[in-house]
Amino acid sequence: MAKILIVDDEVGIRELLSEILRDEGHDIILAENAGAARAARNATRPDLVLLDIWMPDTDGVSLLKEWSANGQLTMPVVMMSGHGTIDTAVEATRIGAMEFLEKPIALQKLLAAVKRGLARIKPTHAPSPLGLAAFARSAPLRDLRKRLEQMAEKSRIILLRVGPGSLAELCARSLQRVGTPWLDLSLSSMPIELNVLEGARNGLLYVPELIYLSRPQQKNLVFAMDRLERHGQTLVVATEHRPEELADHGWEERVLARLFEVSLAPPALGEIRDEIPEIASQILLHVVEAGEVPPRRLSSAALNALRNQAWPGGYGELKAAVKSLALGTLEEEIGMEDVAHLLVKSPPAALGLPLDLPLREAREIFERLYFEHHLQIDGGNMTRLAEKTGLERTHLYRKLKQLGISVGRRHEESGT
């Protein structure tokens, strides 16, 4: 016995299809619109979906796109319509629908389609990484996706001008076509070989922050840039630094000119705070579907707590927090207390700062706590730390050395 979700805004069709398929021994779930279909899909994990195209709130093709984008198209979907066109059927099939049934649906055609769907061997691969297409109900993220796609139509190189709270990875993933490779050029300093680029044909090349690339990695980037057209690739790079700052770190001006020719400044998470609940919910759905966490849901209070949280680490930090919450909670619903336990940090004053010491010693303890706190928040980024503290970089390095705080070789190189 299979679980079959029937999605149609006409009650008569829902009842007719339900009666036929129940007689065949199947367990039937009904949904009258896309909103109800989303909830039913999340709650019941159906084995097959019969999905009407024309519905009042969200049409079936848009819902199919949403499921495909957020990794939830793990079951066969049969599209239904009384006003379908060949173009609509082709588009639905391209997105991932198994087939298309025209209303009124003949009994034998219905049963044959259901039989083929349930007999289909389901792939066991993990869903594709989340992109902006998964957030179809967010106007700011929809607009951002359209801008990125518009740029990618005319340019193979896109630079993202980012700051704290970056959405760079989410933006880059949005331009990665389904089933194509992803190559992060910041992960290796070895000379890149042609066979590596050939293996990433038609894929997306990514650099999360230009200023951290070593000289060999910069050469690899230029080598890949010169061959983008040949291998059908798109390059997305991100940085929070101006060209002149990058030039001070050894970048050639001609390379910077190519990288900065087409650029976009996506909003930070803090600028789209009202979208954080939707982003967090989609992240949770994705990691559940991928089998990375047990089935969980976020309560309204938890979503509001996430919305009010500062996310200086951007999308990556939010994604890690959602996954940690799903793994750490003992209940099916993630509550506000779980969020508070994971994310709320005590201020330095509550860390037991001794007040009976001489001023000089107490000040040194405070300064160490202060700098360690901001280094942790900013991921060791010395440029951002200098801006926050108002200290000149040379003075800042001297101060950290006096306090016995190590910033690591990579960050020391980026500050020279």
Calculate the dihedral angle through the C-alpha atoms of 15, 39, 68, 327, rounding to the nearest 10 degrees. -150
Contact predicate 95/64, CB 8 Å: yes
Q: Distance between CA atoms of 216 and 104, rounded to whole angstroms?
A: 64
Q: Torsions phi, psi of 112, nearest 5?
A: -65, -40
pLDDT in tens, 31-72: 999 989 998 998 888 999 999 998 888 899 989 988 887 778
340 pLDDT band (50/70/90 cuts)?
confident
| Residue whose entry in the numeric block shows the structure tokens 């190559």 | 183
3-119 shares its CATH topology with 136-264:
yes
Question: Which pair of structure tokens corresponds to residue 388?
Answer: 């926050």
Say which DSSP state 149 is in. Answer: H
Mean pLDDT of 155-183: 93
Residue 328: what residue type? G
* Residues facing residue 81 across a β-bridge: 102
Contact predicate 292/192, CB 8 Å: no
CATH of segment(s) 3-119:
3.40.50.2300
The answer, yes or no, to whether residue 319 has pLDDT greater than 80, is: yes
Task: Provide the pairing of β-strand 77-81 with 99-102.
Answer: parallel
CATH of segment(s) 273-343:
1.10.8.60
Residues 6+ apart with CB under 8 A from 313: 164, 165, 320, 377, 379
Annotated domain spans of the chain: 3-119, 136-264, 273-343, 348-414
CATH 1.10.10.60 is held by the domain 348-414: yes
355 pLDDT band (50/70/90 cuts)?
low
CATH of 136-264, one of 3.40.50.300, 3.30.565.10, 2.60.40.420, 3.30.1330.10: 3.40.50.300
Mean pLDDT of 238-243: 94
- Give the CA distances from residue 249 to residues 218, 232, 363, in Å, rounded to whole numbers and listed in that order: 11, 30, 34
Residues in the chain: 416
| Residue whose entry in the numeric block shows the structure tokens 């109800």 | 36
CA angle 343, 347, 350 (to 5 degrees): 120
Q: What is the pTM of this model?
A: 0.65
